[in-house]
Amino acid sequence: MEILSMRKCAAILMAVSLVWVATSVGAQTFPAKNKAITLIVGFSAGGSSDAGARILAGGMEKVLGTKVEVLNKPGASGQLGYTMVAQAKPDGYTIGLASLPGVMVSIMDPDRKAAYKKDDFQPIALQVLDAGVIAVKADSPYKTIKDLLDDAKARPKKITMSTTGLQTGDHFSILQLQQLTGTQFAIVHFDGAGTAMTALLGKKINAYVGNVGDVLSQLKSGDIRVLGVMDTEESPFLPGVRTFESQGINLLGGSWRGYLAPAGTPKEIVDKLSAAIKTALETEEVKAAMDKLGLQIRYMDAKDYTKLWDSYGSMVKELIPLSKQ
């Protein structure tokens, strides 16, 4: 019995060793020559999320020496794409674009009935922060964010403020703003940034909440005024526009876009993908293409991006009940 037990232990150790060796060799040779990496985008082609992913894919191809093919799988606010990533083989050859807080909302809200959970993903790297903004018409009486907040405090639920949809990043930003300042806005949900901006320009709402990339053309034409940027630093695309932080409000928000791998992807492969993203984002070609689209590069490696995921998980969990009131 003792000899049999020892043989079993030896067999188990041998099997574990073989798996470790195979994984180690696979990571060292990743990516294999002529084997493409699939980058899943859970949104339609043509949007800024898709455009940013395609720019990065081109840069990664040059760094890794293999094809990086973008596959659009729109549906259920990105959930179809996230499901495909979560269920893919964890070998580094399937990665996916993720947008915070959207992906975290789908995980944390039981009503969304997502076929995945937070632990089904391995964050790789952050690419973009499209910071949140609050804007008003150019002829609005609100010259500063303080003007807007003072009026909102004087007239609770009377100042109308847009979102680009229920439980979107801008919706959560409004909920955070209300918590931080003790205000109550009349929140109006629209189907996307375009319809919300049309409502602002038509004076159907008092204030627009969206991302930097959504307001550049209207700001350039002089139709709107941006009251603040939800970031720790001013946006290079909105010179002279102050952050909320510099105005005494610790509000950070927007669309944080990065990349995920299925859980269980070897750390060596995750690190190699993260490094390739960093190198691609540092090239003049990629930086110029991103600037043209108004996309601000904000790289984070796997470790820091995972911390961002964790912090958003806590925030979203707290705000989901408020988003349904």
The mean predicted confidence, pLDDT, of the chain is: 92
C-alpha–C-alpha distance, residues 248 and 246, integer Å: 6
**pLDDT top residue among 63 and 8:** 63
Q: What are phi and psi of 237, to 5 degrees?
A: -95, -10
Q: Express each pLDDT in 31-82 by its tens digit.
A: 998 899 999 999 888 888 899 999 999 999 999 999 999 999 998 889 999 9
Confidence class for position 10, pLDDT limits 50, 70, 90: low
Helix (H, G, I), strand (E, B) or coil at 252: coil
**pLDDT-above-90 percentage for the chain:** 80
CA 11 vs CA 23, 25, 221, 258: distances in Å: 18, 21, 72, 41
For CATH 3.40.190.150, list the domain ranges present in the chain.
32-129+254-323
CATH fold label, 32-129+254-323: D-Maltodextrin-Binding Protein; domain 2 (3.40.190)
Q: Does residue 244 have a pLDDT over 60?
A: yes
What number is the average pLDDT over the span 84-101? 97
For CATH 3.40.190.10, list the domain ranges present in the chain.
131-247
131-247 classified as CATH 3.40.190.10: yes
Angle at 79 between CA 77 and CA 81, to 5 degrees: 110
**pLDDT top residue among 27 and 51:** 51
Q: Express each pLDDT in 135-187 by its tens digit.
A: 999 999 999 999 999 999 999 999 999 998 889 899 999 999 999 999 999 99
Q: What is the pLDDT of residue 248?
A: 96
The pTM (predicted TM-score) of the whole model is 0.84
What number is the average pLDDT over the span 124-130? 96
State the angle between helix axes of 284-292 and 267-281 in degrees (0 to 180), rounded to the nearest 10: 70
Q: Which two tokens stand for residue 160?
A: 């109308």
Q: Which two tokens stand for residue 206?
A: 């008092």
Q: Does residue 259 have a pLDDT over 60?
A: yes
Q: Which two tokens stand for residue 317?
A: 């969990």
H helix or E strand, kind and range, residue 1: none
Q: What is the pLDDT of residue 16?
A: 46
Q: What is the pLDDT of residue 28?
A: 81
CA atoms within 13 A on the CB side of 119: 0
Q: What is the pLDDT of residue 300?
A: 97
Q: Does residue 125 have a pLDDT over 60?
A: yes
